[in-house]
Structure 1
């Protein structure tokens, strides 16, 4: 009897193994965000108006955009003088199997070949046509609803970089090359840079990506644009300090650091400084300015999700969010950073910004050995622990915090000096007698 049960269990397991698709040998790049991250703000990972790829395809609230996809395809074909999409479908059919392997979820296998290729084609054409029209406004027709309503084009921009709302970049690149007109210059990467400019990041903050760079999808492109120069700098610094102790330290909030004599200064990211590059020297912390808008939390959460699932290097966005989480403990800290023009709060509510940064890194794994701001944290803590800096800050805060207090101090000092001089003269006069 036990042998028979063992045999039945063995057969059952063999059947389950035979029915399991062999996806472990293929690296996957597009995932559904796990419940731990979703539990903090589920809507941050959900498209508002546009589905791209299979995970949100067919959702009722997103169906209105399907007509716009067809309209954009018709305009694209008309501009090229083509009457059908036959040659594009033939090309994409050859890549269908490779594209499927980008998706991690088992449910993708249930989509038919016809349905998958059609979805890749319509979604891909819409993306490149939208980016083209944004890059070249002269391509926008006078009755283009998407660009007539700024809220709609803005929501599409945000939807295009959601982690779950992606198609493989090689599909987009193939369609872009096939639909280019003879006089059209540039490449798809040039068109996609607008995604950085329209998401609240500083103008020109992104790094140039070589045309031959291996790009996974649009979210990967945005991440590389925002982080590559900073990550390269960190790698160089890490190589030169390979024997240092990289144990993770923490820093106090903005209010507490100011009490320790630390000053905050906003800087504008330039060609030699990334928007992620925070520095600390001689009691002054320099932080590039950041605009906080309605879509900022969704953008940060999806970039962080990307780092949690795919990235094997520096998690620049996660570490930046964690740094600001340390600096911001309350709305008062946001207010102080706002007054220093480090944060531009378009939400209009300091408490909302404080809450956002205090929750961004919940359920996010941090690699202590590769934390981007270890050096900054150590310098800050070393400075703030020195008693003379605390005393200096105490004096400045309590006795030199206004012009009148400084005048009063100088007046008292002059009076003290005169009193001492008068006392000395009195003593000298007495000794002469």
Structure 2
């Protein structure tokens, strides 16, 4: 005898706890429209945006008016010859980053989509807010990832979308769930925009509180500071540099000790509070490693051809040894503040990592290159004032980031418990 599966979510609104179980359906059975965007090539124009999967992010349609392409009204009308986007159509990415969703609003700018985005319009038995949330759920996302992995190219075909298993309750419960996630998404979006606004504000301050290239005074200064900044080589204002090594991986007695060992992948452009690996005293002695004290500035010096590594740095919040991909810098305290060095390098690190590194396939710094980097400095008193202000902004950004991550984790938990 086959065991019957109860299609009931772990978490349910009280008024629906005694209502019928949910019903499993194929997506094609509950939609009036399921299609992908245009497959054609279109000339640049000035009428409507032609967007792709990269424009669907964090539950929103993201349009950059300076970068995103526009097409002509003729091409736009040709794309929508047989159908029109309507309010609440569900958009889902099916090429590249799979499974990102957003609801189209009829107040959105005039736009069309390339084939990397599919359009889903539920029938009268389906609430679109619920449909978006159920597609966001772990159960449906796993189906999408599985379909993508079976394709010759990284993508999901319309035929795969049609076969998605969707579990739905009665319409009244769908509406309740859909509205719940709609409000939660609005709250997350509000915090996302708040974070982006603070990050943009800090970026604006950075551009005004440091001199432009070729100049020796910034646009914005704290009261009481009027002296011109001085152009120096970094090597002239530091006491030393140090980068580490890796103890032999073939010696078990060198690893899993109680001495922190840090790699550049753990530099987070903030305070580094943990190291993922530890070594023993024997490992430290074998690689001739010194322990770098907390409050030291450390920067990534290898693998800088990768955008995610280039410009990486941090302030140590722990005592630790380093591997060969990290360089610790020890400022002359009479000339250079560690916190100012940190804020300065966060600003220039991406650019310097492109302009001044060496290597063919792998881009890297060495000690001599680092010493030869240009840095424009005020007196230490002004450095401290600037770095304190920017550190306070960093703290605010980190706080807002943690709040946003908490909300996102809450949503993930609800998605896991409120769908089957």
Bin for the TM-score computed over the shorter chain:
under 0.3
Kindly indicate which of the two structures has a greater share of residues assigned to helix: 1
Kindly indicate which of the two structures has a greater share of residues assigned to strand: 2
Give me the TM-score of the superposition, normalised by structure 2: 0.24
Give me the TM-score of the superposition, normalised by structure 1: 0.24
